[in-house]
Amino acid sequence: MKPVALYTDHDISQRVCEAWGDRKHVREGLDARDPIVYGVLRGCGEIIRLCEALNRDWWHIDNGYFRPGHFDGYYRVTLNGFQATEPFECPPDRFEKLGTVMEPWRKLGSHVLIVPPSPGRAVWYGFRGEDWVSCTINDIRRSTDRKIAVKTGPKGNMQQALENAWCVVTFDSQSATHALREGVPCIVTGEHIAESVSWDFPDIESPKWPERDPWAHWVAYNQFTLDEMRSGEAWNLLKSTAGGIR
């Protein structure tokens, strides 16, 4: 059965949920259908926590991995989690449709770039962002004496921040996806779609260069436009791949 979208009073939530189809206000709570929500604010997080307490499935919509954007970009859709983490083989058609290019591995750079989790993500997972940064610096120092830079400022500075970076370390930020697209290796410490192509800390000085094309094809099968939601194409694909989405 197709999940019911629970929308909030926020404009983005309302427009995304309208595209999904059958919907009701989050204040109406759960019914027999699985819920699907956009983000975790304004009651959506409480719905997720309740589903987890009841051992019920829940679906989540957030900004896409490749070519995200309101309202003509892509949105990721996941089952029982915030990111897809179990790759499965996919054809290249959806990735090719994006017009996105995976740049060759850069294999140069000097420093390790840390991208901290947003305050909201840290609160959701129950830790302080500054503690994560401190512990991550210690983990990096066990493997390398390279310079470490910590990114600050708006998301739009990511391209500039990648200049001369040897690798990117983050919790669950889409900066890792951005880095991989630009040919910069990443290390992710939280739930992340990049886990299967991510380095571990010892790889900083003993690098490996995984094949990214199959991964990119799979990523494209985990994100959809609002038009694909409206047409039913998104749900039809999700139904056929739900076992591999999380």
CA 133 to the chain's CA centroid: 19
Alpha helices for the chain (secondary structure H): 11-20, 44-53, 93-98, 119-125, 129-141, 158-161, 175-181, 213-220, 226-231, 233-245
The per-residue pLDDT for 157 is 78
Give the tens place of pLDDT for each residue, 131-163.
999 999 999 999 999 999 999 876 557 888 999
**243: pLDDT strictly greater than 80:** no
Mean pLDDT for the chain?
A: 94
Q: Is 77 left (phi over 0), alpha (psi -120 to 50) or beta?
A: beta
Q: What is the mean pLDDT of residues 113-119?
A: 94
- What is the pTM (predicted TM-score) of this model? 0.93
DSSP state of 197: G
Give the tens place of pLDDT for each residue, 200-221.
999 999 999 999 999 999 999 9
Q: Are strands 75-79 and 59-63 parallel, antiparallel or unpaired?
A: antiparallel
Q: What is the mean pLDDT of residues 10-39?
A: 97
The per-residue pLDDT for 152 is 82
